[in-house]
């Protein structure tokens, strides 16, 4: 009996202690406000074209440091550098893991959830025709748009640049004297001169004319260079598959591109290679204006001679549209957080910062002369235009034209 009474009293004692602790905790909780456990930063992943990646990455780092929030949660922007054609290929092959049209959003597999954890929230390609091509492919497969052309989430340009000729001044002077200007036909005739530079009026030590264009398998600029050449050849701003498969045009283009240096060893950053290797890389070429401006000082420092900048008759514009994915693969918070960063990129201060990267602002409050160290002002005497001269803008090519040009290049030039 004594043992039973002891056990009973022990149980009662433990119960009293538990009740006492519970009451104490309850009293403590009355004094503390209820706090919702933070969900963590809103992750925004942005595929970014190579020419604007340094500017966008610097802006993202500053944006992250400033602690921007949405609905009480901090926004963290991650920049993923990727050439536009590479990104388009990944979208075409669905390598990012977009869900099927009949996917059950509420009951995803662990593999699907893992894939979506790295799904791009937005894409800043080189030009708007790239997401338009991606959207057309997804609309056919899913029956809906994944990128919009109107409304709040429509694609908006965040900077501008254009294709332009950059030629060493000594070489440009000879071409001007011999041909009167610099054009694709000038480059073709220089490339096919059997006597090399001496035949053109240049120095014997220059050897043969060497052309610089990006490798279209690594840089969308190489593809747009061929499109620009076709525009000048046909003297119109649009080209078709029939145009690029015409034997006479193909022969002319192959003769022109025969003057390029070894493309297989070139990187995706052609203007940087031009600056590093100088005359051995080439005498001049059609490159992105912003890339040329970023490397003008380096070229002058290393080789003691500036580039002369010229603008072709048929210009290819790069508008770098901020394009938000609107499918269920990303949350509404992620989409709206991407919009916050888009607005940040379009703000006057960040647009002004784009100038030092050789990019033209799209915000009307900012001009290319707004910064004291603007390269547009610094290199104006070398032909850089504050206002681009009246030219014809090449129209966006369709998928068939792109694929045909790339296939032709692989079979006839990339050997």
pLDDT of residue 21: 43
Number of Cβ within a 10 Å radius of residue 198: 14
Q: Taking Cα atoms as reference points, which of 54, 62, 59 lies closest to residue 81?
A: 54
pLDDT of residue 392: 80
Report pLDDT digits (tens) over 61-95: 999 999 999 999 999 999 999 999 999 999 999 99
pLDDT of residue 373: 87
Greatest CA separation found in the chain? 123
Delineate the domains of the chain, giving CATH numbers in brackets. Answer: 42-160+319-346 (3.40.190.10), 162-316+385-412 (3.40.190.10)
pLDDT of residue 415: 63
pLDDT of residue 8: 45
**Ordered DSSP codes for 103-124:** --GGG--HHHHHHHTT--SEEE
Asked if 214 and 266 count as a contact pair (C-beta separation under 8 A), the reply is: yes
Query: Could you say which DSSP state residue 160 is in?
Result: B
Mean pLDDT by 10 residues, the chain (415 residues): 49 47 44 40 96 97 96 96 93 91 80 82 95 92 91 95 96 96 95 95 95 87 92 94 96 92 61 85 93 94 95 92 95 96 98 96 95 92 90 86 91 78
pLDDT of residue 23: 45
To 10 degrees, the CA torsion angle through 106, 107, 109, 114? 20
Report pLDDT digits (tens) over 10-51: 444 544 444 454 444 444 443 333 333 345 799 999 999 999
pLDDT of residue 389: 77
Interatomic CA distance for residues 404 and 249, integer angstroms: 13
Q: Taking Cα atoms as reference points, which of 191, 210, 340, 346 lies closest to residue 282?
A: 210
């Amino acid at each position: 009996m004594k043992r039973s009474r002891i056990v009973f009293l022990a149980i009662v004692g433990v119960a009293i202690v538990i009740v006492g602790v519970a009451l104490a905790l309850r009293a403590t909780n009355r004094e503390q406000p209820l706090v919702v456990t933070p969900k963590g930063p809103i992750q925004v992943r942005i595929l970014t074209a190579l020419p604007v990646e340094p500017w966008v990455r610097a802006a993202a780092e500053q944006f992250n440091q400033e602690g921007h929030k949405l609905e009480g949660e901090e926004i963290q922007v991650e920049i993923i550098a990727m050439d536009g054609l590479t990104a388009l290929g990944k979208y075409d092959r669905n390598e990012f893991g977009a869900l099927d049209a009949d996917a059950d959003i509420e009951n995803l597999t662990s593999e699907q959830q893992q894939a979506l954890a790295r799904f791009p929230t937005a894409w800043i390609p080189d030009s708007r025709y790239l997401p338009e091509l991606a959207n057309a492919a997804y609309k056919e497969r899913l029956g809906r748009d994944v990128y919009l052309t109107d409304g709040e989430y429509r694609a908006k340009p965040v900077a501008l640049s254009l294709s332009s000729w950059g030629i060493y001044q000594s070489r440009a002077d000879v071409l001007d004297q011999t041909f009167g200007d610099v054009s694709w036909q000038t480059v073709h005739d220089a490339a096919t001169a059997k006597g090399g530079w001496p035949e053109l009026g240049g120095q014997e030590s220059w050897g043969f004319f060497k052309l610089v264009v990006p490798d279209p398998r690594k840089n969308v600029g190489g593809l747009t260079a061929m499109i620009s050449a076709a525009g000048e050849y046909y003297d119109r701003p649009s080209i078709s598959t029939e145009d690029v498969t015409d034997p006479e045009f193909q022969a002319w283009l192959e003769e022109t591109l025969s003057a390029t240096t070894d493309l297989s060893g070139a990187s995706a950053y052609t203007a940087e290679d031009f600056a590093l290797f100088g005359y051995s890389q080439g005498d001049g070429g059609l490159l992105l204006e912003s890339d040329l401006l970023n490397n003008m000082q380096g070229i002058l420092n290393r080789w003691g001679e500036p580039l002369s900048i010229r603008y072709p008759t048929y210009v290819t514009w790069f508008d770098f549209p901020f394009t938000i994915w609107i499918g269920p693969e990303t949350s509404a918070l992620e989409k709206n957080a991407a919009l916050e960063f888009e607005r940040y990129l379009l703000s006057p201060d960040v647009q002004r910062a784009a100038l030092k990267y050789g990019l033209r602002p799209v915000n009307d409050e900012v001009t290319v002369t707004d910064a004291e160290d603007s390269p547009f002002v610094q290199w104006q005497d070398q032909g850089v235009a504050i206002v681009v001269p009246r030219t014809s803008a090449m129209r966006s090519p369709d998928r068939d034209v792109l694929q045909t040009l790339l296939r032709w290049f692989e079979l006839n030039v990339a050997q």
